[in-house]
Structure 1
Amino acid sequence: MSDQIRSLTLSHVVLPIANPVSDAKVLTGRQKPLTETVLLFVEVTTTQGLSGVGFSYSKRAGGKAQFAHLKEVAEAAIGQDPSDIAKIYESLMWAGASVGRSGVATQAVAALDVALWDLKAKRADLPLAKLLGSYRDSCRVYNTSGGFLQASLEEMKEKASASLETGIAGIKIKVGQPDWRLDLERVAAMREHLGDTPFMVDANQQWDRARARRMCRELEQHDLVWIEEPLDAWDAVGHADLSREFDTPIATGEMLTSVPEHMALVDAGYRGIVQPDAPRIGGITPFLRFATIAAHHGLALAPHYAMEIHLHLAAAYPTEPWVEHFEWLDPLFDESIEIRDGRIFVPQRPGLGFTLSDEMRAHTQDTVTFSA
């Protein structure tokens, strides 16, 4: 007899950020400083006694909506075979079809989808990367958390040096300020400070097409690994045009919440770096669907945030990817990830390789359980 999903526990978790940060969206007045990460955790157990854990997240808004949406549709998964992940995914999409197949709907379902992949790898007694078919046991890693715009130039330099001393390979900083001259000054100063260290910048969608072309042209001299989100995230044609016009690679995709939204980049002739985010695109199932297409088109990969999930997915991508390092979620898990010599290493424990910490429980504001 096949296994069945016996119970699902959903947890709404609010994790404060010790030092609030601001990117260009704050300086242009479009958002408030980031003070917390709101997470949706799913713990799944089966009739054969197996378990899995997954999560999704939101910043600034949407966390409560994710929790509420999954509460409405999660019961559709009860009694299903947990190995039939694609089938379960489709059933949850149909259960919430009236609100569409992107945005909050996919981000909510993502937490359960990730939990099912964690469970499946645990059933096989393999790290998730090995279950998927990994190409490598570690990936290049860069840090973003030290490069936000509320930090002074000296503070950014200090944080970058500290990150490199821990074994991080690359550094990314935020740009996109209303005064573009300040961006250029900070980038030039950081390039001088970093020497030959791999260096990326992120404009967080704050340039129009004309400004983006001018900034990309000015930034060519700094030998950047990439220029991230120079345009609105849904301007596929604009990003594709920039990716063909400049030598410095363009990177985008972190904000997109479905495979079709990512496919718009491919259809527009995009030649840059894709940055799908598993919790945002809808989970590991849709992430893998798009990753296959991206690899077919020869696109480089650098998944966004959530390194606890993306490290496994990056290890299973054909060409060498970058993984983004944020320490913000560390308190939620009992285990840490090994970083050394510029690389972040796939945990050798089964599944994602993480268990939820007491601190995660302490930050849980609401929870609900569904059971057969």
Structure 2
Amino acid sequence: MMTSGDRVARVRLSSVRLPLDAPVSDAKVLTGRQRPMTEIAFLFAEIVSEQGHEGMGFAYSKRAGGPGQYAHAKEIANDLVGEDPNDIARLWDKLCWAGASVGRSGLAVQAIAALDLALWDMKARRAALPLAKLLGAHRDSVRCYNTSGGFLHTPVEQALENATAALERGIGGVKIKVGQPDTRADLARVRAVREHLGDHVPLMVDANQQWDRPTAARMGRALEEHGLVWIEEPLDAYDHAGHAALAAALDTPIATGEMLTSVAEHAELIRARGADVLQPDAPRIGGITPFLRLAALAGHERLQLAPHFAMEVHLHLAAAYPLEPWVEHFEWLEPLFEERMEIRDGRMLVPERPGLGLTLSERAAGWTAERFETP
């Protein structure tokens, strides 16, 4: 096999715990299925080649699973040493088969995601190109909407202030959480935000999988008057038939996909026509390599794309998608990096820095619980 002449020299892994400013609650907390979120666990991978090229990537877990991702990555990281770092698709398959006995989705591929992102970051840095340009960008900026200001632990009055602040910052749309046990409270919340924003501002809602089919149908009809961009995760993430029925019955688009953890799971959702807006998460499905496979499937079906969370990565991937996408604004990850995403006129600008354009901050080092380096 022809090689570039370069080889992976070593891999460094870090387990990082990012504390949140305040406990965060969505509908899963209000229905008693989860506890409020107080931190996010990150798995960082830094890869260095024999020729001195470097790349950095990460995966993450909310509430549980972070130590498992880190442990799995430690087991497979040495399989990259000595390999040509440019052969990313082949290396993804190699890492996947190394841990295939525990599956080819979920935690097993999420550990691979950090390594895969690092390899793509290195490849784009080596080419002196932003990742979006390496992939083939369709645009230099992407529509963005804010989610972090509209969680259910936030009183309605504060959510309205947060929405105003997001728009003043240049963010283009606002998403708020719904899915409370009392659906009347949800309707009042959406009505208050819509009246506050006016009809011209893009507004989305997210039920975080907490409605059953009858409730989702009733709520979907009741919400039609508000001209929502989409209703997100109205049903269990794996209820593809239920999502498809809603998508067929409502004028408001149905968005889902963030909780799926492989390309195969997304393919089933697409086959069932369960989403008008697909919301894959690159770290959750195994990295950029599988995301590109999924984006090809979604593009073939002419689906809208709105990747979940991790705007620092998804901005590049959304910019390379042929149809006009959305990217989700969360400021939560900002303390981990030296750089900031630039937002203007409702859009997030693709950075001109090579690769992902990210550098780990000194604060991230302070939140590091464990480190590992290949021999």
Place the TM-score, normalised by the shorter chain, in its bin. over 0.9
In structure 2, what is the equivalent of residue 139 of structure 1? Answer: 142
Structure 1 distance, partners of 2:23, 2:325, is 29
Match of 2:93 among 80, 90, 94: 90
Verify: 1:251 aligned to 2:280, yes or no. Answer: no
Q: Deviations over 1:218-248 (max 9, x none)?
A: 1111000000000001111111221121110
* Residues 134 and 315 in structure 1, CA contact (< 8 A), matched pair in contact too: yes
| Cα drift, residue 57 of structure 1 | 0.4
Match of 1:211 among 184, 200, 215: 215
Structure 2 distance, partners of 1:84, 1:236, is 35
Match of 2:9 among 6, 10, 19: 6
Structure 2 distance, partners of 1:239, 1:117, is 33
Query: Match for 1:230: what amino acid?
Result: P
Structure 2 distance, partners of 1:73, 1:121, is 23
| Cα drift, residue 54 of structure 1 | 0.2
Structure 2 distance, partners of 1:160, 1:138, is 21
Structure 1 distance, partners of 2:263, 2:209, is 20
Structure 2 distance, partners of 1:163, 1:109, is 34
Verify: 1:174 aligned to 2:177, yes or no. Answer: yes
* Residues 59 and 114 in structure 2, CA contact (< 8 A), matched pair in contact too: yes
5 Å-filtered alignment, 1:18-33, equals: 18-33=21-36
| Cα drift, residue 276 of structure 1 | 0.3
Structure 2 distance, partners of 1:163, 1:156, is 10
Structure 1 distance, partners of 2:275, 2:331, is 30
Q: Deviations over 1:337-371 (max 9, x none)?
A: 11111010001010000111101111110010014
Verify: 1:346 aligned to 2:350, yes or no. Answer: yes
Query: Match for 1:336: what amino acid?
Result: R
Verify: 1:63 aligned to 2:66, yes or no. Answer: yes
Q: How many pairs does the alignment contain?
A: 371
Q: Deviations over 1:183-211 (max 9, x none)?
A: 00100111000102100000000011111
| Cα drift, residue 269 of structure 1 | 2.3
Structure 1 distance, partners of 2:301, 2:218, is 28
| Cα drift, residue 271 of structure 1 | 4.7
Verify: 1:35 aligned to 2:38, yes or no. Answer: yes
Q: Deviations over 1:319-340 (max 9, x none)?
A: 1111000000001111111111
| Cα drift, residue 270 of structure 1 | 3.1
In structure 1, what is the equivalent of residue 231 of structure 2? Answer: 227
5 Å-filtered alignment, 1:277-292, equals: 277-292=281-296
Structure 2 distance, partners of 1:30, 1:2, is 51
* Residues 244 and 271 in structure 1, CA contact (< 8 A), matched pair in contact too: no
Structure 2 distance, partners of 1:269, 1:256, is 15
In structure 2, what is the equivalent of residue 193 of structure 1? Answer: 196
| Cα drift, residue 21 of structure 1 | 1.1
Name the Cα RMSD after superposition.
0.8
Moved over 2 A (4+): none
Match of 1:74 among 52, 72, 77: 77
5 Å-filtered alignment, 1:295-314, equals: 295-314=299-318
Structure 1 distance, partners of 2:80, 2:195, is 54
TM-score (norm 2): 0.98
Q: Deviations over 1:114-140 (max 9, x none)?
A: 000000101111000000000000000
Query: Match for 1:203: what amino acid?
Result: A
Structure 1 alignment gaps of length 5 or more: none
* Residues 242 and 274 in structure 2, CA contact (< 8 A), matched pair in contact too: no
In structure 2, what is the equivalent of residue 183 of structure 1? Answer: 186
Query: Match for 2:291: what amino acid?
Result: F
Most deviating of 231-240 and 6-15: 231-240
| SS of alignment partner, residue 188 of structure 1 | helix
Q: Deviations over 1:32-75 (max 9, x none)?
A: 00111110000000011000000010000000110011111111
Q: Percent sequence identity over matched residues? A: 64
In structure 1, what is the equivalent of residue 272 of structure 2? Answer: 268
Structure 2 distance, partners of 1:313, 1:114, is 12
